[in-house]
Structure 1
Amino acid sequence: MKLGIIKVALIGNPNAGKSTLFNALTGLRQKTGNFPGVTVEKKSGTFKIAGSGDEDDITASIVDLPGTYSIYPKSRDERVVMDILANPRHPDHPDLIIIVADASNLQRNLLLFTEINDLGIPTVLALNMLDVAASMNMSVNAVQLAMQLNVPVASINARTGEGIDKLKEAVRHAAEKKHSTSFHYFYEPVQSDLAMIEEVKELYHLDNDYVALQYVCQHDNFSFLEQPVRAKLDALIEKYGFDESQFLASETIARYEKLKPIVSRSIKKEGITDQPYWTRKLDSILLHRFWGYFTFAFVLLIVFQAIFAWASYPMDLIDEGTAKSIEWVKNALPEGVLNDLITDGIMAGIGGIIIFIPQIAILFALVAVLEESGYMARVMVIMDKLMRRFGLNGRSVVPLISGVACAVPAIMTTRSISSRYERLLTILVTPLMSCSARLPIYAILIALVVPEYKVLGILNVQGLALLGLYTLGLVGALGSAWLLSLFIPRKEPSYFMLEMPSYKVPRWGHVAFSSYESVKSFVLEAGKVIMAISIILWVLASYGPGDSMDRAEQATIVQVKSGTQEQRDAAVASARLESSYAGQFGRFIEPVIKPLGYDWKIGIALLASFAAREVFVGTMATIYSISGDTEDVPTIKERLVQEKNDVTGGPMFTPAVCYSLLIFYVFAMMCMSTIAVVYRETHGWKWPLIQLVYLMVLAYVSAFATYQLLS
């Protein structure tokens, strides 16, 4: 340990307030990344401990380790904890550990503390949620607890910041002590176990009995051990006849037996100690087998109304501001390739990134409110049984519902799913939920083929068609999850362990910080990929082989001498697009999309809509030389009705073609922002490419079947 600098690990049970304490300690001095060698997200930061008198200031580098109930992992994320603590050569191996314990459920939380403390690393116990314990008529004597455990104990409230200074002082005291007294809570080992422990310590240069036992019990989980080392440990287990299962069971029982009197002497109870009154009353409704689902549906209605209503204003302002900025730069710079690259490529790409910020910020703020209040845990519980039938679990509900607004922030919310298998399944199927970007496409195509009349005088048929498309997306997501679960091997058992927290008033600073972190992560990480693809698409649409685009422009000018300037400009733009690389690509893929009822012009729109699905509308407007506002649905509808099929001479947009396009866009992965965020969340291109292929195949087959059945 360097003078004035220490490495700290933050460990605790899920829902003990560990992440809240991490934010309180580090503030904005934190960063995200991955733990070395694994794709588990790592949150790290720094905080200072001011010295008093002759004491020097201490800078603490802190890492927030995945939440776990025990050092024996049940998921890949939890393996990271012991992979770091049992390996002194790991770059994140701590000089000191802060263990966060929920005071309202002390005995269960202290099980993890006893295991960590026995590893011999200096430890500080942060006693959190004392206010919740008080609401349950319990008070915890931190001094008595510290005396019995022989470690510094700090009483804190991570939500309000109370007691943080005392915690820092406890960290200083433990760091200066430089050692931890191990109590060895587990059962007394027999002579053969002692001999095995000594042999392991000698072989691997260990000085702690409990760490040596972890090498025996968990060597298959330790990524830092080579296969020959694991084989040698297996041989030792066989040599001494060590029974791992019996040891684990006996250890846990022994720890709880020793903890009972410690907890009993440290906690004073008055009256009935149960969940707070209002928690019990609300749970009788929110966990009810009928009213629970009804309440959830009502909350969703409010959430998505808020997302659409609140996000539309800032998104319109961003869209308008981006357009004006592009226009100003275009006029300020000399005409040429550089001008076009900056305005149509780079600035348009930036606009495509920041336009999502309001939705991401609002959605994550609302999700944070539901989580901080304790309600989200109840939603996961009531939905878990339904989700498991499709290979998912209760935590998958939030991303799937959020996908109706936008798949980008929805996929980012999958971080709350502890099982990597179920998180991956959720990420792979979330884009099937019909997002708001599909609405312009749905509106135009439904207007072409669905008559505008009402059933029973109140139900609009076009509205029912729109509802049907959203329902089809949900059915497709659940069906795909079930099908994918048959092919993706489950390498870890499925657990849905969730502590039911009491209801609380959200900490608004934490809500704002959570929203800020989500926006920052999207802009800085996924934004890089979006920018790159935007520039590529601009190049494909702006350039063509040789002078083909110039020749097409000249020929169009000669052909379209009459008409307004707007009509001539639109015709020229359409001709240039047809001759561009994008147009050439449209011609190239025409044989592939022809069985769906599409021609090369629709092919260009399909290519362009990879930037964002809603681009389909503007692209179709340009291709068909539509003048005026491209978002004027009647104008677009009128022009599409007039469009002729080059082969049959009849209407191009028949009911068969329109329904084929609708089905295609329900299932197709036509959004580079989603591809980018999947790349960010899965830490590689493997799963985004698999997702792209399977969704495009699903879209193609479904659209093909629709067209062939209706034509």
Structure 2
Amino acid sequence: MSISSAADTDETNDAKDLPACQARVVAMVGNPNVGKTSLFNRLTNLLAKTSNFAGTTVDRRTGSADLDEGQTCTLVDLPGMYSLTASSPEEQVARSFITGESESPPEAVLVVVDATNLQRSLAVAREAIQCGRPTLVAVNMVELARKSGTTVDLEVLQNKLGCPVVGVSARTGEGVTELKAQLRDLLQPRKLVVLGAEAAAGSVDCDACGTCPFADGHRWASTLASESTGSRFVASEEWTDRVDKLTTHRFLGPIVFAAVMIAAFASVFYLAAYPMDWLDASFGWLIETVGGLLPAGDFNSLVTDGILAGIGGVVIFLPQICILFFMLAILEDSGYLSRAVVVIDQWMRRVGLPGQAFVPLLAAHACAIPAIMSTKVISNRRDRLAAIMVIPLMTCSARLPVYTMVAALLFPSSPWLAALLFASAYALGMLAAFVVAWMLKRSILPGEAAPLILDLPPYRTPSLSNAIRHAYERGWMFLRDAGTVILVISIVIWVLSTYPRLSDETFTEQIQTAGLSAETLDDAELENRRSLAAQEYAVIGRMGKFVQPVFEPLGFDWKISVGVMTSFAAREVVVSTLSILYGLGPEPEDESSLHDRLLSATDASGNPVFTTATCVSLLVFFVLAMQCLPTQAVTKKETGSWGWAIFQFGYMTVLAYVAALIAYQAVSRIT
């Protein structure tokens, strides 16, 4: 092992390279699943900001870390990666950031490796050291290594790597104080810059293997891992293997996956019941209070029936969104979600989707836009196009309010049945994606997808703080992104629902045409008829009546048809639209929620609007339809053609309509 140095480097060269505003920046590097982000969260006390590297769609998280003794530094959590020299955007961005090719380089690099699997995670440490920045290696999960009977000789690692090495546990906080001390020392101006690990800076390729440029690095990591670790027993690995035989089994694996997801969804409904009731009551009180303070008239109706009712109809589902992402974070942190990847990959490759597409497909459950952007990691254009075409079929967070609304209408008092419906909606989206991918493979995108190579992390106790942080970020993202759209559309819907005004003369003519008389109707029925007639007379009523024949075979009345049209701007807007359309007009004596109003809604003949068949049809339509115009813009950008974006919109709309039609007709005959 040789360690190179730059003796002629000026003593304060590193510090001078950075502008004052970016001084004391430390880049965090490591493989996926080594606990890098958990350590980042502990050092920054969960106070971090997420942004993109300039000119890219690659995320980076930055936060300020208190190193004690009055010193601080800025940590930059780089994306998890297996190499700094591969061709993916994440790895290219990480390398250019560390070396200073794209912006001022960090003052130091903190490499996080896994104590339970040094052989896998040391290779990227070698490459980080060779980038020429002062480097500190944090051996994470030392407590798990001890439990498994593995001992790590930190002194051997330090001597071989030629840089400081600290054993830590991001989960328990063990070794964090020493890590901070080492960071303080590392950030001091120094004369020597360690390049280390057998090669000069940037030279990692080798000619020893004609097929893999990274073979030398992995052989080196394997040798160093064997020299610096020892194991008394392997009971933990045997236990992991036994569990994996169940969770990744060809037939039992999907059953376990379905059971886990249904249990997770059931917990979402159970845990979210109380905060949802509180939010519902709070918005009801707010609407009543604000309505009492404002003078009667259009402005009062705009604020209460338009803005507050529209926003409240969506915000009420925030607890379920946060709890769902909390559960998904727990599953990912525990190591199970990677096993689910293996289970699903068995089916993905058969239908023509590459294994690399699973991460974008998983990310699409949050939002399709960053998921489509993340397909840059797929090098083959055919595989990348196939993934982009089916990503919007995954259930994103914008669909969750619709799923929740339908589940509450069908199973208001049965969380387990509601959870089963929720899971079925997710499964339908995944099944549709696989079917479409198979059809693309057999038609316009022929070819076989590349196999998946995945490193399964060990099972571990998930971090509650990380899961809470993830849920908070996703919930805030939902409110931030959806809130503006919902506010604007709620105002537009209110205006279209209110104007032009229905005159008394026109209403009297409508009553007489129907063979009725105002004198024969009681006040409540007269007001209800006036409210419905006013909505139908307004612009939105005329629009709904115009498009209703298109959606009538799906069981949608004109109000639901309007909701479908407005939802093409943003899926979740359908909830606020229905909240406005079914909330305008005289309030009942007791404050009723959107759920109660929808259950009691009737058509002109007095029949319920939201029958079982209509609810199922609405759910199927929203699972499969492309109702997000920003996603179309991203598809055009990533494919380089509006043709693919139009094709994506067209096939998803037709698929949603046909599937909803079949669902409505089938359920209507059963019920």
TM-score (norm 1): 0.72
1:253 and 1:435, CA in 2 relative to 1: closer, same or farther beyond 3 A?
Answer: closer
Q: Is 1:375–2:336 an aligned residue pair?
A: yes
Matches within 5 A, 1:568-607: 568-589=526-547, 603-604=561-562, 606-607=564-565
- Note if contact 2:38-2:466 (Cα within 8 Å) is conserved in structure 1: yes
Q: Could you give the per-residue CA deviations for residues 530-579 of structure 1, whole angstroms, max 9, x where no partner exists?
A: 333323222222333xx556765565688544323322222121122112
Match of 2:166 in 1: 154
Find the aligned partners of 1:253 and 1:137 in 2 and give their Cα distance.
Answer: 28
User: Offset at 1:37?
Assistant: 0.8
- Note if contact 2:354-2:449 (Cα within 8 Å) is conserved in structure 1: no
- Flag the structure with more relative contact order, 1 or 2, with Cα contacts below 8 A and sequence separation at least 6: 2
1:574 and 1:683, CA in 2 relative to 1: closer, same or farther beyond 3 A?
Answer: same
Find the aligned partners of 1:42 and 1:432 in 2 and give their Cα distance.
Answer: 22
1:701 and 1:569, CA in 2 relative to 1: closer, same or farther beyond 3 A?
Answer: same
Match of 2:475 in 1: 519
Q: 422-431 or 21-30: which moved more?
A: 422-431
Query: What amino acid maps onto 1:279 in structure 2?
Result: T
Matches within 5 A, 1:129-144: 129-144=141-156
User: Offset at 1:94?
Assistant: 1.5
Gap regions ≥5 residues in structure 1: 52-56, 187-208, 218-243, 447-463, 644-651
Match of 1:429 in 2: 393
Match of 2:300 in 1: 339
Find the aligned partners of 2:531 and 2:307 in 1 and give their Cα distance.
Answer: 20
- Note if contact 2:620-2:660 (Cα within 8 Å) is conserved in structure 1: no
1:308 and 1:690, CA in 2 relative to 1: closer, same or farther beyond 3 A?
Answer: farther
Find the aligned partners of 1:371 and 1:529 in 2 and give their Cα distance.
Answer: 31
- Note if contact 1:557-1:572 (Cα within 8 Å) is conserved in structure 2: no
Query: What amino acid maps onto 2:283 in structure 1?
Result: T
Match of 1:116 in 2: 128
- Note if contact 2:508-2:518 (Cα within 8 Å) is conserved in structure 1: no
- Note if contact 1:32-1:43 (Cα within 8 Å) is conserved in structure 2: yes
Query: What amino acid maps onto 1:562 in structure 2?
Result: T
Match of 1:49 in 2: 67
Q: 686-695 or 586-595: which moved more?
A: 686-695
SS class of match (1:151): coil
Find the aligned partners of 1:323 and 1:688 in 2 and give their Cα distance.
Answer: 41
Match of 2:139 in 1: 127
Query: What amino acid maps onto 2:53 in structure 1?
Result: F
Q: Is 1:308–2:269 an aligned residue pair?
A: yes
SS class of match (2:137): strand
Find the aligned partners of 2:375 and 2:172 in 1 and give their Cα distance.
Answer: 27
Find the aligned partners of 1:509 and 1:416 in 2 and give their Cα distance.
Answer: 26
Aligned counterpart for 2:490 among listed residues 524, 530, 534: 534
Find the aligned partners of 1:466 and 1:110 in 2 and give their Cα distance.
Answer: 42
Larger Rg computed on CA atoms: 1
Matches within 5 A, 1:483-562: 483=439, 496-544=452-500, 547=501, 552=506, 560-562=518-520
Q: Is 1:699–2:656 an aligned residue pair?
A: yes
Matches within 5 A, 1:218-617: 252-259=214-221, 262-267=224-229, 269-273=230-234, 275-392=236-353, 421=384, 424=388, 427-431=391-395, 437=402, 475-483=431-439, 496-544=452-500, 547=501, 552=506, 560-589=518-547, 603-604=561-562, 606-607=564-565, 612-613=573-574
Find the aligned partners of 1:705 and 1:151 in 2 and give their Cα distance.
Answer: 65
Find the aligned partners of 1:274 and 1:415 in 2 and give their Cα distance.
Answer: 42
Find the aligned partners of 2:213 and 2:354 in 1 and give their Cα distance.
Answer: 31
User: Offset at 1:146?
Assistant: 1.3
1:668 and 1:512, CA in 2 relative to 1: closer, same or farther beyond 3 A?
Answer: closer
Aligned counterpart for 1:667 among listed residues 599, 607, 621: 621
Q: 25-34 or 621-630: which moved more?
A: 621-630
SS class of match (1:104): coil
SS class of match (1:698): helix
Find the aligned partners of 2:27 and 2:474 in 1 and give their Cα distance.
Answer: 23
User: Offset at 1:12?
Assistant: 0.2
User: Offset at 1:33?
Assistant: 1.7
Percent of counterpart pairs with the same letter? 32
User: Offset at 1:265?
Assistant: 3.7
SS class of match (2:303): helix
Query: What amino acid maps onto 2:300 in structure 1?
Result: N
1:573 and 1:382, CA in 2 relative to 1: closer, same or farther beyond 3 A?
Answer: same
- Note if contact 1:567-1:625 (Cα within 8 Å) is conserved in structure 2: no
User: Offset at 1:361?
Assistant: 1.9
Query: What amino acid maps onto 2:32 in structure 1?
Result: P
Find the aligned partners of 2:562 and 2:116 in 1 and give their Cα distance.
Answer: 61
Find the aligned partners of 1:330 and 1:634 in 2 and give their Cα distance.
Answer: 22
- Note if contact 2:283-2:312 (Cα within 8 Å) is conserved in structure 1: yes
Q: 161-170 or 75-84: which moved more?
A: 75-84
The root-mean-square deviation of aligned C-alpha atoms, in Å, is: 5.0
Match of 1:79 in 2: 92
Find the aligned partners of 1:563 and 1:333 in 2 and give their Cα distance.
Answer: 31
Q: Could you give the per-residue CA deviations for residues 34-70 of structure 1, whole angstroms, max 9, x where no partner exists?
A: 121111222111112233xxxxx33311111111111
- Note if contact 1:611-1:671 (Cα within 8 Å) is conserved in structure 2: no
SS class of match (2:116): helix
Find the aligned partners of 1:605 and 1:250 in 2 and give their Cα distance.
Answer: 54
Q: Could you give the per-residue CA deviations for residues 583-607 of structure 1, whole angstroms, max 9, x where no partner exists?
A: 2322443575578787756644544
1:39 and 1:21, CA in 2 relative to 1: closer, same or farther beyond 3 A?
Answer: same
User: Offset at 1:87?
Assistant: 3.8
1:486 and 1:582, CA in 2 relative to 1: closer, same or farther beyond 3 A?
Answer: farther
